[in-house]
Structure formats: structure tokens, C-alpha cells
Amino acid sequence: MASVTLKHVWKIYEGRVIAVKDLNIQCKQGEFFALLGPSGCGKSSTLRMIAGLEEITKGEIWFDDTLVNPLRPSQRNVAMVFETYALYPYLSVYENIAFPLRLRGLSKDEIDRRVRWAADFLGITDILHVGVKGLSSGQMQSVGIGRAIVREPSVLLMDEPISHLEARQRARMREELVKLHNRLETTTIYVTHDQVEAMTMADRIAVMNLGELQQVGTPKEVYEQPRTEFVGGFIGEPPMNFADGDLQQEDGQFYVVSPSFKVALGPVLAERLRSYRGPSRVRLGIRPENIGVSLTPGEGLVEAT
């Protein structure tokens, strides 16, 4: 396995469309790292640059201490799993999994050993000699994953691999992919637009929007301490609520005040704000689950119907 580091990486299409803007991230060795964001945010372009399928406009990509910019995809020892299975429909499960190993020129015995190991690992030994055309979507995705892991890659790249599955299958595959990662301990970079996938599967998440990195952190960090309004609104279901107000301080207590409410801020926020020197006009973000109900008025409570 290898760490993956992106330093000031840009991707500009046709000289004018900026898909990725000055991206700086590091995926640690053995980490399950999610690239999360809406459609068009640059996450798939980032993954393809890591794989070597897209040329880097500017910047550097490193695997451990090796600069991989000049290396072809076949020289990077990466494997990819796509949303579309990219299987050969007229080959059996065995032949599909074995295909990349034959291209490498491995011996027949070594190919057989790796294919049967992957099939046993994924629980698909009973369908090894079945054609893929009649398989379920979940089985075909398992074959696609098997074809990736038999290569014993330094980095495993996954581009929305389960987004097309129905809800029950997605939930099962989320669990299976986490188990797979925990057993293989392969550095994994996982692209998704689904916050549930990122929050439940990843060790850390890089949130992207419009080609720019918004925040990198653990699921707990990006949920509880969003660095931008976009992260606060994108992460969470139902989403965070926002309200504009003025930041005021009275007798050491901080408040956000507007014509319709006056909200006292808790001690953790108050401590952070003691060194705040920005504008007094602020935007308050509140998670729905942090709102309580009281039947009697009191300090810091907002009357509502």
C-alpha cells in the first residue's frame, strides 16, 4: 500500500473549464479516504488524475516518495472499480477476474491461485464458471471488485461503485466494502456524491465543491465542525438551518441577535469567539437535532409557533 499526496493540483479542460482548482490533500497508507461532493465538483476528475487516466494541468501527485506525474496508468500499480462494471459479457466470472493477470503475463498457476483467493474472499466461488450476463447487479459488482483486488494494487480507486444499486443492496455493499478494506488494509480512495456512504465508510472525508476543496476531516469533524457554509449544508439529513444575525457580547456571554430572535451561544463557541476579530454580521448554523422545545419562556429561548 502507498500514501497518496496531491500538491497544488489543477485540472483545466480546453484551457478554460476549471474542474479541479489548486487541490492539496493526502491519503495516508491504508486509509479509506472519501472524495465527497455534488455532481461536477471535480471528484471524478481527481480520481482519474490519480489513476493516470487524465493528464494533470498543473501540480504534483506522489505515491509515497515517488512522483507519478510521468508514469503511465500501468506503471502506477493502481486498480479501479467503476459504477459501470466494465466486465466482458461473453467471458465467465473466472475469465473476467483473470483478465488483468493474463495481461501481466503471470503463470497459469499464479493466476488460478489469485482468482480463487479473490472469489473465496468475496464469496463468489460458486459462480466462478458462470457467464456474467446472467448475474445480479450485486454479483457483477463483486466480480468487478475481484478483478481489481487480484492485481494486489498499492492504491484501490473506487468511482461511485454502488450508486446504481437499489437501497437494500447499497446498504449491504457498504458493509461489505468496509469489511473488504479492513481485511486487505489497502489504501482506498472512494468517490461518491452520497454523504451516507462517505460518513459511514470513510476514515476521513475530503468535501469538494466547484472544483475546490472545502474541508478534510473525519466524519465527526465535518459534521460537528464544518468549516464552510457549504459543508454545513451539504452534510447532514435533514440539512443544517441557517439564519443571519449580529454577534454581540454582554457580560462575557455571546449572542447572535436579529429582529426575530436572540440566541445565546454555548461555552465551547464562546471560548472560540474570544479571539474573533471579524465582522459582527454572522450566519448562524443550527442542526435540527440540536433544537429543543420548552413550554415556558426563558433566557436564550426563542418564541416560535
At 212-250, the pLDDT tens digits run 999 999 999 999 999 999 999 999 988 899 999 999 988
Confidence of residue 265 (pLDDT cuts 50, 70, 90): confident
pLDDT band, residue 292 (cuts 50/70/90):
confident
Residue range 117-156, pLDDT digits in tens: 999 988 899 999 999 888 888 888 889 889 998 988 999 9
Min mean pLDDT across 25-34, 168-177, 241-250 is at 168-177
The architecture CATH gives domain 241-290: Beta Barrel (2.40)
Reported as a pLDDT band with limits 50, 70 and 90, residue 86 is confident
Q: Which three cell numbers stand for residue 271?
A: 471560548
Q: Any long-range contacts for 239-242 (C-beta under 8 Å, 24+ apart)? A: 240/285, 240/286, 240/287, 240/288, 241/285, 241/286, 241/287, 241/288, 242/283, 242/284, 242/285, 242/286
Share the mean pLDDT of the chain: 91
Separation CA 250–CA 235 (nearest Å): 32
* Residue 87 one-letter amino acid: L
**Which of 97, 187, 72 is CA-nearest to residue 151?**
97
Amino acid at residue number 198? A
Element counts in the chain: helices (H) and strands (E): 9, 14
Give the residue with greater pLDDT, 10 vs 243: 10
What SS3 class is residue 88?
coil
CATH for 4-234 is 3.40.50.300
H or E segment to which residue 156 belongs: strand 155-159
SS3 category, 295: coil
- Residue count of the chain, please give it: 305
Q: What is the average per-residue pLDDT within 196-200?
A: 95
Enter the DSSP assignment of 166. Answer: -
Q: Which three cell numbers stand for residue 153?
A: 494494487
- 60 — pLDDT class (breaks 50, 70, 90): very high
Contacts of 59 (CB under 8 A, 6+ apart): 6, 7, 8, 9, 10, 22, 23
Per-position b or e across 121-145, b if 16+ CB within 10 A of its CB: bbebeebbeeebeebeebbbbbbbb
Q: What is the pLDDT of residue 305?
A: 65
Q: Which residues contact 189 (CB under 8 A, 6 or more apart)?
A: 4, 27, 33, 34, 35, 47, 50, 155, 156, 157, 158
Report CA-CA distances (Å) from 50 to 64, 240, 268. 13, 33, 39
- First-to-final CA distance of the chain: 56
Cell numbers found for residue 294 = 420548552
Residues of the chain with CATH 3.40.50.300: 4-234
Written as nine digits, the cell of 147 is: 478483478
Q: What local confidence, expressed as pLDDT, does residue 300 receive?
A: 66
Burial of 266 (0-12, 13-18, 19+ CB in 10 A): exposed
299: pLDDT strictly greater than 80: no
Confidence class of residue 95 from pLDDT cuts 50, 70 and 90?
very high
How high is the pLDDT of residue 13?
A: 94
32-36/187-192 β-pairing: parallel
Q: Is the pLDDT of residue 85 over 70?
A: no
Q: Where in the chain is the domain with CATH 2.40.50?
A: 241-290
